[in-house]
Chains A and B, each alone.
Chain A
Amino acid sequence: NSKVIQTPRYLVKGQGQKAKMRCIPEKGHPVVFWYQQNKNNEFKFLINFQNQEVLQQIDMTEKRFSAECPSNSPCSLEIQSSEAGDSALYLCASSLLQSNTEVFFGKGTRLTVV
């Protein structure tokens, strides 16, 4: 069973609204990832952190998307102005090491933009 906790499980927002989702990584895992899985089951990597520092991110996240992993608080992914095309399952994952190691996913936050 996954020990990565994501909240909320479901999120419904109107176009232009802000959408924020949270993630508590597995205990002891300093590396956190965010992925987007669309209705066609395609995964898109968004960003990853080690502790509070960004390791990699795609261009998309530099515009409407923002993410952070503050010390002693849940990680979060926020979409500033939601668009219909943002409707997807947002998955948080964590791992012990930066690479070549097991990555564990949470159950996801299902975002619907109406």
Chain B
Amino acid sequence: QQQVRQSPQSLTVWEGETAILNCSYEDSTFNYFPWYQQFPGEGPALLISIRSVSDKKEDGRFTIFFNKREKKLSLHITDSQPGDSATYFCAASAPNTGKLTFGDGTVLTVKP
């Protein structure tokens, strides 16, 4: 059973639009949720993260919305740019372990 799920698998938006990437999880003990951005041939880069005590985290054009009751979160990228085209991974970890469980990723394409 996959612990962290992401949808959609791929998403195409126009430059300037808002991209919404979704993530859900199974393990109710997960309490830390980072999002990573990965370009081809590179390692994942930490984009933004949230802890389960919060329901929203904002950093520039990137915002995480978190719903603990439904075990869902989403990453909103406003004013999308072609340079945002990458694969985005939602991850989760439980207390007392740094081990991250990753989703399968969403491939975002931003068209100019």
Which residues from chain A sit less than 8 Å from chain B, CB to CB?
Answer: 2, 4, 6, 31, 33, 35, 40-43, 45, 48, 55-56, 89, 91, 95, 97-108, 110
Contacts and interface: CB of A to CB of B under 8 A. Distances in A.
Contact of B100 (A4, A6, A43, A107): A43
A104 B94 CA distance: 17
Q: How large is the interface on B (under 10, 10 to 19, 20 to 34, 35 or more residues)?
A: 20 to 34
A103 B34 contact: yes
B45 A97 contact: no
B112 interface: no
Given A2-B45, A105-B43, A107-B42, A99 B104 contact: no
Contacts, number: 71
Interface of B: 31-32, 34, 36, 41-46, 49, 51, 87, 89, 91, 93-102, 104-105
A55 B49 CA distance: 23
A41 B87 contact: yes
Contacts of A6: 43
Given A99-B95, A102-B34, A2 B100 contact: no
A100 B93 contact: yes
A103 B63 CA distance: 19
Nearest to B93: A99
B105 A100 contact: no
A105 B45 contact: yes
A102 B99 contact: no
A98 B105 contact: no
A18 B93 CA distance: 32
